[in-house]
Structure 1
Amino acid sequence: MALRASTLALACLCASPLAAQEDAAGKLTIELNSVEPEQDNCRMSFVILNGHDVDIKSAVFEAVLFDIDGRVDRLTLFDFGSLPASRPRVRQFVVPQLACDQLARVLINGAQTCETDVARKDICTESIDLKSRLEIEVVG
């Protein structure tokens, strides 16, 4: 019985990445995965999954960073670079003069740049799925 339960648990764990990719079909998923202090700066790590059936050659998003008091700290651009179809990518950004523990929310204002080989320019704005693994909220 214990062997059967552990086999089932292992099967569930192995299936989750596939299920996550299936859930991302037709979406551009941007997840704030971690933040780490780096001297007087904050390194933000994002996991991005282009669930569309076409590659994104270049994706740059305008982001607004809010502090724990709800004030706008700054507007910035995050250049996620190329995002191949159905392939996860990790991108890191070091935000100067920002204490990670003072960051409360990230607002993705929209796509500054979105280049593909097809005429669909809405690929970076329609069906965008924003997530966070932290207490820092990501909205759009």
Structure 2
Amino acid sequence: MKTLFATTIAVFSILSQVASADDKAPVLSLELNKLAKSESGCLATFMVKNGFEAPLEKVAFEIVLFNGDGLVDRMMVLDFSPLSTGKTRVRQFDLAGADCNSISRVLINDAAACKGASVAATACLESLETNARPDVEFGS
């Protein structure tokens, strides 16, 4: 009986450590903060935060815009580089010819670049957390 109790305690201890390790996994946060009409189209404002332990020299995402009918309007690569560790940055991109009111979805199709010391090329997409303030579907 003591062995079973000790084994149960050990299993719960290991599970607790695994859960704690998962809670501390690095995250790259990307928020679509605002879409606003600009002279040339639509100004997209993003907030991005590097939660990795190393700066990101290069981070860019292939983005796809969908119109109100759910059809692909355009694909582009947006470069958020460079990103210091733990720092929140605001990045703006003028989407020439785009109508902010007709954008129904912004899809993160792929990570076009993800480079930093001790950061795997796949880490930016795998560790990405997205959020949108406008009423637009946003994410991968």
TM-score by length of 1: 0.79
1:134 matched to 2:134: yes
What is the distance in 1 between the residues matched to 2:72 and 2:119? 34
- The more displaced of 120-129 and 51-60 is 120-129
Which has the larger Rg? 2
What is the distance in 2 between the residues matched to 1:74 and 1:57? 26
Aligned-pair Cα RMSD in Å: 1.6
Give runs of aligned pairs for residues 85-104 of structure 1, distance below 5 A.
85-104=85-104
Displacement over 3 Å in runs of 4+: none
Matched residue of 1:77: which SS? strand
What is the distance in 2 between the residues matched to 1:122 and 1:99? 32
1:63 matched to 2:63: yes
Matched residue of 1:101: which SS? helix
Match of 1:16 in 2: none
Match of 1:124 in 2: 124
Percent identical residues: 35
What is the distance in 1 between the residues matched to 2:56 and 2:95? 24
AA partner of residue 36 (structure 2): E
Count of matched residue positions in the alignment of Structure 1 and Structure 2? 118
Higher strand residue share: 1
TM-score by length of 2: 0.79
What is the distance in 2 between the residues matched to 1:43 and 1:51? 26
